[in-house]
């Protein structure tokens, strides 16, 4: 039993906290988590934390199963995993996002510091926003933005039968080429548009095409405007054809193209998350397999980045027959270093899938072409990656490997976020098995996907917490021999 330690559970992954508590021989500290009717989060600590070493466990991911938040009832006040009798929160995950869990974490950290805790460590099996420390830019300097989900669904009909239709009935006939259910953030279409939807002139003073003034007619920017800032010539149809946040008219895409030398400013969310944790009062962060190892440099406090590859390596050795004839495959160039580390330690062959993006012409968006570098004929292929979200990459990689003659394709991944229609895409793909860890709750995913297998990483986190608490080195946890 570890003394002078307090283990606090967030509402995102209670089962993981129970496993940590059992391994450490402690009981999770009592706390009450609640939401007001306005959606604001409230946290209250049920016992004294004065002078204690506090560890707050909070995971993230769209795949987190439904959790009943504590609302001040008997079970919640005793630190149990049930809901209080006075709770009025709904029992579904639809209203709780990664941002909700992060704000809850910051409030819990602040509550512990207010309670005079000696040290507060944020234990984050999956660190949020870890994929956003770097931004991909095109040769013109603008961030690469994919086609919106609404555009992909255009033409599917008013009934919303297509997978890309927003607000329609989801199509359950998925294939592994299907698009994720939730699109990424896009640039507002209102940029460089006037009140009546007309493109504004750029800073060079050039007049937009088709807007040149005719003989005897004033330029459109010198025309009289009404009280709403629109020219009298603007019709109701013109006003109704524009929205604020969505691309609905592909003809406007060229109007939003960034000029050479310009850069559309976007937040570095990675460093922002680090600053928020430090400002909330965190003294240390304990996480696993950061998407970018450079992320640790954003913090002014110690960060212990544990690795799951020793666990994945042992799985290969004990669960894949004739594993010495298998091939370790990286689904993209970015994960090659991670995959080669496992391949070298096991003495296995290595293959790489290269994704090349080249536009057919200068006016069209780039299209990805996947190429295999290596021999996989009649061999077991083991895909290695740190995170699977929409499962687009691994399912396309599996299709390519099977096309090249692979006998079996197994995916080994640390974080199984599996958002959107990822489960349906995996079920329809040539993947034979998908192995993830429990850094994100997987109970619901396992019910829906028979190919999914989950490895328990709570033992690694429990040993890391014990060593940090006693001031011991955690480097032994990085050994995979």
Each residue's pLDDT tens digit, 163-190:
443 344 444 455 545 444 444 444 444 4
Average pLDDT, the chain: 75
The proportion of the chain whose per-residue pLDDT surpasses 90, expressed as a percent, equals: 49
Distance CA 285, CA 109 (A): 12
SS3 316: helix
- 351-355, 425-429, 456-460: segment of lowest average pLDDT: 351-355
What's the confidence (pLDDT) of residue 264?
A: 53
E strand or H helix at 444, and its extent? helix 443-448
SS3 301: coil
Evaluate if residue 231 carries a pLDDT over 60: no
303 contacts 289 by C-beta, under 8 angstroms: no
What's the confidence (pLDDT) of residue 116?
A: 94
Q: What's the topology of domain 5-130+268-306+462-469?
A: Rossmann fold (3.40.50)
- 295-299, 304-308, 405-409, 432-436: segment of lowest average pLDDT: 295-299
Distance CA 110, CA 392 (A): 38
Q: At what angle do helices 458-469 and 14-24 cross, to 10 degrees?
A: 50
Retrieve residue 7's tokens. 């283990």
Retrieve residue 375's tokens. 């021999």
Retrieve residue 286's tokens. 């304990």
Residue spans per domain, the chain: 5-130+268-306+462-469, 309-456
- 264-278, 303-317, 421-435: segment of lowest average pLDDT: 264-278
For the segment 134-145, the average pLDDT, to the nearest whole number, is 49
Q: What's the topology of domain 309-456?
A: Rossmann fold (3.40.50)
Q: Where are the alpha helices (DSSP H) in 320-384?
A: 336-346
Count the residues in the chain: 481
Distance CA 73, CA 58 (A): 22
Please tell me if the domain spanning 5-130+268-306+462-469 has the same topology as the one spanning 309-456.
yes
In SS3 terms, 215-227 reads as CCCCCHHHCCCCC
Q: Cβ contacts of residue 279 below 8 Å, gap of 6+? A: none
Evaluate if residue 227 carries a pLDDT over 60: no
Distance CA 328, CA 179 (A): 27
Distance CA 417, CA 131 (A): 13
SS3 252: helix
What's the confidence (pLDDT) of residue 34?
A: 84
CA neighbor of 382 nearest in space, from 355, 414, 351: 351
E strand or H helix at 74, and its extent? helix 74-77
Per the DSSP assignment, residues forming a β-bridge with 44 are: 32
């Amino acid at each position: 039993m570890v003394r002078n330690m307090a283990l606090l559970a967030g509402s995102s992954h209670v089962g993981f906290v129970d496993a940590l508590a059992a391994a450490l021989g402690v009981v999770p500290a009592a706390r009450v988590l609640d939401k007001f009717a306005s959606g604001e989060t409230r946290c209250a600590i049920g016992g004294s934390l004065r002078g204690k070493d506090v560890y707050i466990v909070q995971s993230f991911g769209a795949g987190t199963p439904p959790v009943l938040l504590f609302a001040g009832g008997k079970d919640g006040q005793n630190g149990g995993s049930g809901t209080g009798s006075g709770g009025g929160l709904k029992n579904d995950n639809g209203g709780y996002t990664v941002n909700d869990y992060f704000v809850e974490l910051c409030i819990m950290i602040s509550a512990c510091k207010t309670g005079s805790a000696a040290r507060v460590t944020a234990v984050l099996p999956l660190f949020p926003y870890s994929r956003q420390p770097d931004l991909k830019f095109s040769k013109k300097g603008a961030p690469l933005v994919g086609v919106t989900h609404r555009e992909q669904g255009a033409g599917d009909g008013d009934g919303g039968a297509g997978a890309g239709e927003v607000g329609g009935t989801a199509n359950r006939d998925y294939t592994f080429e299907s698009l994720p259910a939730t699109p990424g953030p896009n640039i507002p279409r209102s940029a460089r548009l006037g009140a009546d939807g007309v493109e504004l002139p750029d800073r060079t003073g050039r007049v937009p095409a088709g807007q040149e003034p005719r003989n005897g007619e004033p330029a459109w920017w010198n025309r009289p405007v009404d009280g709403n800032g629109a020219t009298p010539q603007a019709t109701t149809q013109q006003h109704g054809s524009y929205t604020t946040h969505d691309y609905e008219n592909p003809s406007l895409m060229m109007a939003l193209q960034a000029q050479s030398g310009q850069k559309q400013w976007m937040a570095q969310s990675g460093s922002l998350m680090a600053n928020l944790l430090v400002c909330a009062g965190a003294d240390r962060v304990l996480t696993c397999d950061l998407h970018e190892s450079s992320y640790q440099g954003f913090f002014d406090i110690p960060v212990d980045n544990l690795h799951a590859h020793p666990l994945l390596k042992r799985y290969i050795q004990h669960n894949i027959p004739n594993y010495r004839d298998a091939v370790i495959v990286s689904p993209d160039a970015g994960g090659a270093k991670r995959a080669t580390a496992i391949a070298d330690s096991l003495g296995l062959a290595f293959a790489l899938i290269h994704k090349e993006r080249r536009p057919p012409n200068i006016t069209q968006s780039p299209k990805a072409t996947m190429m295999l570098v290596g021999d996989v004929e009649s061999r077991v292929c083991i895909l290695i990656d740190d995170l699977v979200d929409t499962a687009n990459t691994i399912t396309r990689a599996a299709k390519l490997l099977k096309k090249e003659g692979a006998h079996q394709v197994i995916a080994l991944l640390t974080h199984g976020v599996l958002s959107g229609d990822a489960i349906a895409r995996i079920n329809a793909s040539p993947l034979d098995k998908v192995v993830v860890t429990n850094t994100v709750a997987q109970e619901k995913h396992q019910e829906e996907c028979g190919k999914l297998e989950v490895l328990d990483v709570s033992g690694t986190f429990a040993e890391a917490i014990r060593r940090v608490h006693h001031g011991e080195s955690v480097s032994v946890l990085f050994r995979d021999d």
